[in-house]
Structure 1
Amino acid sequence: MLVIDRIKEMSASGEWPPGTRLPSEFELAKMFGVSRATLREALRVLEEEGAVVRRHGIGTFIAERSLVQAGIEQLFSVTEWIERAGRRPGTIGFSIGEEEACKEDQEQFGLNGPESLYLIHRIRTADDDPVVYCEDRVPKSVLPEGLDGFDGSIFNHLEAAGHAIAYARTVIKPIAEHPEVFPALDVKEGQALLLLEQMHFDASDIPVLLSANYFRTDTFHFHVLRRRPKE
């Protein structure tokens, strides 16, 4: 489509660099000699591709970061999501600690009394951009050999320990502020994060990983396929 190609060319050439607010739909339609309907369809395609970001009531902008489009119904690790978007995953701000499981943790993991948990904090990057803040909790009994050799992907480490992730129970929350996470991800004022709180289970239905992942909404766009129930 001519409009799509022209907008991509103007972005690539530097005429419209990342972050540029595009002219109004009326001005763009006139500029490219197309109808408003044709222009809107082009912008919709560009948004799906992650080339532009549309902010309701503000306008349409050339995307500052390539987007990671992900189906929320599919369970991928953060590493896999980033790789599937054609970007290079990485990890910074990595730390591992231990803490006693609180009563809520004991209930969620089904622990029979006090037990220590591994507490893992990481900032996941895509092409060196900080895009996800991860907090993971794993009972020490799930990883009796510890976290030696941990390469940044908790899914891979659990699989190597005989606890390959099979499914997860997920709660999704919008986050407007967080004193630690927002600065860590370089989130600008007025932006928000999307928090996915997930309890992961292995093939034996054992809860093995409790995670809280904070996603940058200007980088990750989640979608879900919904169907009408059969009568």
Structure 2
Amino acid sequence: MQPNRLPLPRQVEARIKERIISGECRAGEQLPSEEELAHEYGVSRATVREAVSSLALQGYLIKRRGVGTFVGQPDAISGGLESLISITEWIRQSGREPGTTFVEIDRRPPTAHERELFAPWKTEEVAEIHRVRTASQIPVLYCIDVIPGEFAPTKGSELDESLLTFLEKRWGQVIIFAQTEIDVVTASKPMADHLKVPRATPLLCLRQAHYNQHSTVLLWSQDHFLPGHFRFDVRRHRQ
């Protein structure tokens, strides 16, 4: 490798990224092993590992445990936060195929925060729904949704796609707007396992209180996005 002021992992990262952007390595193809890349670039496996991990966080590479590392989609799924559409539609509009690889529904008493949110429903039970959403079979998002128990699906297969569509078609509850907070969190072990990333990987979290056509909170969601797979656009106006 040529001398460069950049640290070695960043140099390797730039070389691999160049191969992906140029089309030499195409989306879906498996990357050579760490050992092969280390030999090719004349660096240690630890250096290659750091470079690959960085590219995975950016969405250029997908690390699949026990299988290998594959070239991802460099172009992020993008959209404006001012528009409230389902994750399913958002992924579909990007030209990818939306899917779900994991659904778990847990009925439990509401927390103090949820009692306050869902006060108009006077609910004594909520349904906490965990799902992993995919874009063209690549895990990109871990969703945690909480709704009053009376609106919960009876089985996971009812949530193959959009929860917003389910609430509208099944219960006539139309989500009109949402109040959103944005935060950065680290992936828990269950999230990391399902998203096939290392534990404590940074995730962009959107916490949202969704309001129905009567301006009543019906859904509390926490959507955990893998960096590099999504880009959020916000139009700001000077007051």
TM-score by length of 1: 0.68
Aligned pairs (5 A) from 1:186-201: 186-188=196-198, 191-201=201-211
Task: For structure 2, list consecutive stretches of 5 or more residues without a partner in the other structure.
Answer: 1-17, 32-57, 62-70
Asked if residue 92 in structure 1 is aligned to residue 107 in structure 2, the reply is: no
- State the shift of 1:103 in Å: 1.7
Residues 52 and 162 (structure 1 numbering): CA distance in 2 closer, same or farther, change over 3 Å?
Answer: same
1-side partners of 2:173 and 2:227: how far apart? 30
Residues 168 and 112 (structure 1 numbering): CA distance in 2 closer, same or farther, change over 3 Å?
Answer: closer
Tell me if the contact between 2:125 and 2:149 (Cα under 8 Å) persists in the aligned partners. yes
Residues 187 and 52 (structure 1 numbering): CA distance in 2 closer, same or farther, change over 3 Å?
Answer: closer
Cα RMSD after superposing both structures: 3.1
User: Would you tell me which structure has more helix in proportion to its own residues?
Assistant: 2
Residues 109 and 82 (structure 1 numbering): CA distance in 2 closer, same or farther, change over 3 Å?
Answer: same
Asked if residue 175 in structure 1 is aligned to residue 185 in structure 2, the reply is: yes
Aligned pairs (5 A) from 1:132-171: 132-141=141-150, 143=151, 146-147=153-154, 149-160=158-169, 161-171=171-181
Aligned residue in 2 for 1:124: 133
Residues 204 and 212 (structure 1 numbering): CA distance in 2 closer, same or farther, change over 3 Å?
Answer: same
Aligned residue in 1 for 2:232: 222
Q: Residue 235 of structure 2 aligns to a residue in which SS? A: coil
Q: Residue 165 of structure 1 aligns to a residue in which SS? A: coil
Tell me if the contact between 1:11 and 1:18 (Cα under 8 Å) persists in the aligned partners. no
Tell me if the contact between 1:132 and 1:213 (Cα under 8 Å) persists in the aligned partners. yes
Tell me if the contact between 2:147 and 2:220 (Cα under 8 Å) persists in the aligned partners. yes
- The CA deviation string for residues 85-124 of structure 1, in whole angstroms up to 9 with x for no partner, is 1100000111122111122110011256551111211100
Count residues with an aligned counterpart: 183
Q: Residue 180 of structure 1 aligns to a residue in which SS? A: helix
Residues 190 and 134 (structure 1 numbering): CA distance in 2 closer, same or farther, change over 3 Å?
Answer: closer
| Percent identical | 30
Asked if residue 79 in structure 1 is aligned to residue 84 in structure 2, the reply is: no
TM-score by length of 2: 0.66
Tell me if the contact between 2:187 and 2:200 (Cα under 8 Å) persists in the aligned partners. no
- State the shift of 1:52 in Å: 7.4
1-side partners of 2:227 and 2:182: how far apart? 13
2-side partners of 1:89 and 1:81: how far apart? 9
- The CA deviation string for residues 106-145 of structure 1, in whole angstroms up to 9 with x for no partner, is 001125655111121110000111100011111023x28x
Q: Residue 131 of structure 2 aligns to a residue in which SS? A: strand
